[in-house]
Amino acid sequence: MNEPRAVYQTLINWLVERDLYPAAVTTDDIGASQWRRADALARLAGPGPHTVLELGAGGGYTAAALAERGHAVTAVEWIAEAASSIRLWTDTVRSGSLRAIEGDFYELPLEERFDVVCYFDGFGIGNDGDQRRLLRRIAGWLEPDGCALIDVMTPWYWAAQAGREDEYDGIRGRFEFDGDGCALRYHQWPPDREDEAVMQVIRCYSPADLRLLLEGTGLRLAGLESYESERYARSVPLAKAMIYLAKLVPAS
């Protein structure tokens, strides 16, 4: 199974099954990598406070870190359990503000504009047409002097991971790379249930390819930071990076 919404729903079902989905949160639950994302936003967009739209916000941990830094955050997530989890943060954060919107960011009737639109660890689902459609929506959500901060997976890192297996939150995983489509294929399954495996397909882009993708979307690549992993623990040269955080600004 690899329809994106069904894949993310299944991944959450597996957590719920094993009682690993949080029923309550405290700010101590915000991890180092979420604070590092908030630091990256301050470096690339300025300290703010900003109005921030976070796409594909998962359980809201990064949104909570951003609110704690004083930003007014709107977090979008289409999986009901994850959106409920984001709502738990709404009364927990001690500064800024946090609002959860449950919905598909391709469909959302959201008329507001934001200083920053961010998407951590999710960009690349679907084909190039899907990415362009999303980038055009992002351009429409940005204030004229705003910026988007988007995690982008590098092809060279993920091509070298083909065949590697891992385990995360008790879920087994195997990485493959589609060289023709330049996409990571990540298969995941609960131990001993490989027949139930789901697959995420994430398109990977070099900055040169991202510039081509951005043509006609109303956005241009204005800078980037490259990291060893999605946790942002170590900055590394782009050629050694798993991921880079692209800063996109209005094209004109």
Ligand X SMILES: C[S@@+](CC[C@H](N)C(=O)[O-])C[C@H]1O[C@@H](n2cnc3c(N)ncnc32)[C@H](O)[C@@H]1O
Three-class DSSP category at 127: coil
Nearest CB to ligand X, comparing residues 2 and 211 = 2
Element (H, E) at 131: helix 128-141
Residue least distant from ligand X (Cβ): 56
Nearest CB to ligand X, comparing residues 35 and 251 = 35
Q: Taking the complex as a whole, how short is the minimal distance between the CB of residue 89 and ligand X, in angstroms?
A: 13
Contact 62, 83 (CB under 8 A): no
Nearest CB to ligand X, comparing residues 78 and 244 = 78
Q: Taking the complex as a whole, how short is the minimal distance between the CB of residue 117 and ligand X, in angstroms?
A: 13
How far is the C-alpha of 31 from the C-alpha of 61, rounded, in Å?
Answer: 8
Omega before 191 cis (within 30°)?
Answer: no
Q: Which of 158, 141, 133, 129 is nearest to 54 (CA)?
A: 141
Beta strand 219-227 with 183-189: parallel, antiparallel or unpaired?
A: unpaired
* Residues in touch with ligand X (CB under 6 A): 4, 8, 56-58, 62, 76-79, 82, 104-106, 120-122, 125
Q: Taking the complex as a whole, how short is the minimal distance between the CB of residue 252 and ligand X, in angstroms?
A: 27
Q: Taking the complex as a whole, how short is the minimal distance between the CB of residue 76 and ligand X, in angstroms?
A: 5
Nearest CB to ligand X, comparing residues 23 and 168 = 168
